Structures are given as C-alpha cells and as structure tokens.
Amino acid sequence: MERTLSIIKPDGVKKNVIGEVIKRFEANGLRIAAIKKIHMTKAQAEGFYAVHRARPFFGSLTEFMSEGPVVTIVLEGNNAIAKNRELMGATNPKDAAAGTIRKDFAADIERNVVHGSDGPETAAFEISYFFNALEIF
C-alpha cells in the first residue's frame, strides 16, 4: 500500500469536474484516505511548489494555484504514486494519452486540472503539507 497526494487544481474545480476526477481514481483501485477543499494564499502555494521556485513559470503557477479553491486528496492503493500519474497523463495536455484526466479536461500546460506527487519523498512532504495524521484514514 502506498499513499500519494492529488490536487484538483482551481481550473478543475471551476470546470465542475471534481466528481469525474474522483470517479476515475476509485474506478482504478485508488481509495480516498483524506479529502478537503481549501483556498491557498499565494504564500501557501509558493511553499507547496518550493521545489519549482527557480523555474520561469513559478510566479504564474503559484498565482494560478491560489486564484480559487482546490480539492486536496490523499489517495491510497498499490503503486498509488505511479497509478495516479498514469491516470493524470502528461503535464502538457497536448502530449497526454487518450483517456487521461489532462487529455480530457485540461486547457494547457499550466492549467492542467490535477497535481500528483512524483515520488515517495515528495508524497510524504506534500501529504503532510495539507493533512495531519488524525485526518487520514
């Protein structure tokens, strides 16, 4: 069993596809261990994406991630990290495989509907950024 952090980003929330995204997780063997809707400040988004602070898109990305509410989810299942990223599809929806979340719902490389942890260490950091142990079941 493995845990990973998913975020339905502000564009996904505005498009009203929270249920559609969660349905795909559950249909593919991922269980919701924790979930909440929050609206990050710019500073909170900067803390979350600190690993990207030197990237040219950092300012725009953190502006986007704090423009409205997101849904943060702890997913649990076998190979949850890789499984989630497979369901998400490539970062740029133009490159995403057919049937992936980003292919079906994302507008562009930045407004790409979902976030998923990319490894065990980032998953542990990202889960603890939003949830404490008493909120995960």
The residues of the shown chain that bind ligand ATP, judged by CB under 6 A, are 52, 57, 61, 91, 109-110, 112, 115-116, 118
Q: Which is nearer to Mg ion, 27 or 118 (CB)?
A: 118
Q: Minimum Å distance from CB 33 to ligand ATP?
A: 18
Give the interface segment with Mg ion, choosing from 23-31, 34-42, 92-100, 110-118 (CB under 5 A). 110-118
- Residue-by-residue DSSP string for the chain: -EEEEEEE-HHHHHTT-HHHHHHHHHHTT-EEEEEEEE---HHHHHHHTGGGTTSTTHHHHHHHHTSS-EEEEEEEETTHHHHHHHHH--SSGGGSPTTSHHHHH--SSSS-SEEE--SHHHHHHHHHHH--GGG--
Q: Which is nearer to ligand ATP, 92 or 137 (CB)?
A: 92
Give the C-alpha separation, 32 to 6, whole Å: 10
The pattern of x and - marking residues 66 through 95 that bind Mg ion according to CB under 5 A reads ------------------------------
Q: Minimum Å distance from CB 4 to Mg ion?
A: 11
Amino acid (one-letter) located at 86: E
Find the residue with minimal CB distance to Mg ion: 118
Q: Does the active-site annotation cover 115? A: yes
Partner touching 113 among Mg ion, ligand ATP, none, CB below 5 to 8 Å by kind:
none
Q: Which residues bind Mg ion (CB under 5 A)?
A: 118
